[in-house]
Amino acid sequence: MRTSVQDPAPNDDPLRLDRQLCFQFYAASNLIGRLYAPVLAKLNLTYSQYLVMLVLWEADGQSVGAIGKRLHLDTGTLTPLLKRMETLGHLVRQRDKEDERRLRVSLTASGKALRGKALGVPEIMTRGQNLEELEALRRTLADVIVTLSAARAHQ
């Protein structure tokens, strides 16, 4: 048995791309984003914007920090993202009268109405898949995220 000319890296090479779990998360995440994009474009949302809408549909009027905690994003990402969504008319950003540092992000009527159109998205994206397998993977990844968040916090 010999290694091919194309790929001379031996199986036990720790730097083999195929062995990197980090790369698989990277590739899967990018591929998922590309698959969602055309579906979400019909709702006038990007993929990141869709995630923000999921957070706000669960509880309206959250602060930037609360949304960021939920999505594991900081203000460097969220502030411009939320401004674009305000321009698009999905939400409004207004300072909290109780505490002027806080910014409350609230859905507009059209932002709330968009939820009805979004209801079909999860089914469209998982059509033809084994739902038990997806659920098992979902649970595994929930643990992974807890581990990664903890590692990040201890850094």
Partner DNA sequence: TCAAATTAAATTGTACACGATATAAATAGC
Partner DNA sequence: GCTATTTATATCGTGTACAATTTAATTTGA
Burial of 26 by CB count in 10 Å (0-12 exposed, 13-18 middle, 19+ buried)?
A: exposed
Report the alpha-carbon distance of residue 58 to residue 22 in Å, rounded.
Answer: 30
Residue numbers at the binding site for a copy of itself (CB under 8 A):
6-9, 14-36, 38, 47, 51, 54-55, 57-59, 70-73, 115, 118-119, 121-123, 125-126, 129, 134, 137-138, 140-142, 144-145, 147-149, 151-152, 155
Report the alpha-carbon distance of residue 53 to residue 102 in Å, rounded.
Answer: 19
Report the alpha-carbon distance of residue 15 to residue 23 in Å, rounded.
Answer: 11
Residue 3 interacting partner from a copy of itself, DNA, none (CB closer than 5 to 8 Å by kind)? none
Report whether 67 contacts 105 (CB < 8 A): yes
Sketch the per residue contact string, 80 through 119, with DNA: x for CB under 7 A, - otherwise: xxx-x--------x----xxxxxx----------------
CB of 88 to DNA, least distance (A): 8
Residue 78 interacting partner from DNA, a copy of itself, none (CB closer than 5 to 8 Å by kind)? DNA
CB of 144 to a copy of itself, least distance (A): 6
Retrieve residue 3's tokens. 């290694």
Residue 46 interacting partner from DNA, a copy of itself, none (CB closer than 5 to 8 Å by kind)? DNA
Letter for the amino acid at 93? R
